[in-house]
Amino acid sequence: MFSGILTGSPGAMAGLEEDYHAESLGLVALGGRTVNQLPFVAKPDAAVYCQQIELWIDTTLWLPVQQSCHEANQSVITFTLEDVHLNAPLAKDTFEVEIPSDVERLRN
């Protein structure tokens, strides 16, 4: 679930309300952006990987631009998106894949 929040994976937010207490720490600056900082602290009986998740939601984009996972062993994993552009034009060949001639196709 953790990495899916930042990328907007379907169902990534499911379970947050059930497993975490949430609050807003208000507006803060992050990398030149104004963001709303939202900590989610695990409820006592929740069987979760992250004891605390923090999201930073950009107030212009309304998208998470950073998230952190605080693990039970005190490790912290942080993902940050920088240089975010909505609906940026992409060259047609951006998603073209060149498959080497010696690759065997296993199914159609």
Q: Is residue 107 part of a domain?
A: no
Q: Is residue 56 part of a domain?
A: yes
pLDDT at 107: 80
We report the CATH number of the domain holding residue 49 as: 2.50.20.10
What single DSSP character describes residue 93?
G
Mean pLDDT for the stretch of residues 93-103: 90
Q: Is residue 81 part of a domain?
A: yes
Q: Is residue 103 part of a domain?
A: no
pLDDT at 84: 86
The model's pLDDT over 24-38, given as tens digits with 9 standing for 90+, comes to 999 999 999 999 999
62 backbone dihedrals φ, ψ, rounded to 5°: 55, 40
Q: Is residue 106 part of a domain?
A: no
Total tally of structural domains belonging to the chain: 1
Q: Which segments within 1-108 are labelled E, that is strand? A: 20-22, 27-30, 33-42, 50-58, 64-71, 76-80
Strand partners, 70: 52, 76
Q: What number of other Cβ atoms are within 10 A of residue 76's Cβ?
A: 11
